[in-house]
Amino acid sequence: MRYIDIFNGDADGILALLQLRLAEPRQSLLVTGVKRDNQLAVKPQYEEGDVVTVLDLSLEKNIDGVNRALKAGARVHYVDHHRPGNIPEHELLTTQIDTSVDVCTALLIDKQLNGRFHLWAITAAYGDNLLEVAEGLAVAQGLSLQQRTQLKDLGVLINYNSYGHSIADLHIAPAALYQALLAYYSPFDAIADLSSPYHRLRIAYAEDMQKAQLAEVYYKSDILKVVKLPDQAWARRVSGVLGNDLANSDPERAHIVLSLSCSGDFMVSLRAPKNNKQGASQICSTFKTGGGREAAAGINCLPADNIEALLTVTEQFYASSSGE
């Protein structure tokens, strides 16, 4: 029997698995990647008796891999908060899927574990830009402002590290980051350890975000703001966290970050208005390689001649939904 852990390489995926393996330590095959590598369940070759855990990946985009695992006789436990599509019924499949806008995968695992590693779940919620949810949980936990700020910083840094076209763009490979964080029972232990990834990522994040302040404003209206980033590794790394920052600072608008690739296409990060957290997944899913969730979604590879279509669809959606 083999254990296979398949997880998104962002803060939510990493910290969802971290909670599980702190609670149930096991040697497993780790299958992960950059945040936009979202069809990870299709990669392994499954065998009868495998025990497969899939975290923070759309079931809709991974259904072929799941069906192949079930056909091989593997047991699959699937936990996620993205649009699932049709969920198959199978005796070897268990699912915990909730697409509510105030939920992330790590919070679902937190519930499954009865809050055993609640601080890690709060950190993940901060990293997944569920700021109000994370703040509420942190305050209920009795954390000071300084402690809440530390958990937010750690969550954002882990999430920041997940963005790029490939592992080469990242400061730390997601599997290595997960394994490094597994040494810490509490996020405050990681923050206190000067040799932990927290301190390395903090320096790198500050350098990249300083460059991001010069991002070109490609388009701006009362409904939507679009910024464009160059074809450079730092730009690909900040694409997600920059989108979150823009959304948090300007809650009435939707925001799009366009990151140019060497092929001339664009990686897209879309954030719904903070005051109208819906539609991002619906908009991005109309384009090939697009998907996500209601408040935040993206397109892995958008041809340049489709940018105007994306802007039009986004403007029309939020113009019509703003009064709901």
In this chain, the answer to whether the domains covering 3-203 and 213-321 adopt an identical fold is no
Residue-wise pLDDT for 222-244, tens only, equals 999 999 999 999 999 998 899 99
Q: Which residues of 206-245 are buried (b: 16+ CB within 10 A; e: fewer)?
A: eebbeebeebeeebeeebbbbbbbeeeebbbbbbbbbbbb
Neighbours of 320 (CB within 10 A): 10
213-321 CATH pick, 3.10.310.30, 3.30.413.10, 3.40.50.1100, 3.40.50.1970: 3.10.310.30
How much is the mean pLDDT over the chain?
A: 95
pLDDT tens sequence across 198-211: 999 999 999 999 99
Quote the percentage of the chain above a pLDDT of 70. Answer: 99
Segment 292-308, tens digit of pLDDT: 888 999 998 999 999 99
Predicted confidence at residue 36, as pLDDT, reads 86
Please state which of the four CATH numbers 2.30.30, 3.30.1120, 3.40.50, 3.90.1640 is assigned to the domain occupying 3-203.
Answer: 3.90.1640
pLDDT in tens, 3-18: 999 999 999 999 999 9
- At 51-66, the pLDDT tens digits run 999 999 999 999 999 9
Contact predicate 279/318, CB 8 Å: yes
> Which residues are CB-contacts of 273 (< 8 A; sequence separation ≥ 6)?
247, 251, 252, 253, 254, 318, 322
In which region does residue 188 sit, left (phi positive, over 0), alpha (psi from -120 to 50) or beta (all else)? alpha
Closest by CA to 187, choosing from 220, 147, 146, is: 147
Quick one: what percent of the chain has pLDDT higher than 90?
Answer: 90
Pick from 156, 114, 140, 116: nearest CA to 245:
156
Q: Specify the amino acid at residue 123.
A: T
Domain ranges of the chain: 3-203, 213-321
Position 262 scores a pLDDT of: 67
pLDDT band, very low/low/confident/very high, at 48 (cuts 50, 70, 90) = very high
- Statement: residue 138 has pLDDT above 60: yes
Q: Edge-to-edge strand order for the sheet containing 266-271?
A: 216-220, 224-229, 254-260, 266-271, 296-302, 290-292
Q: Is the pLDDT of residue 40 over 90?
A: yes
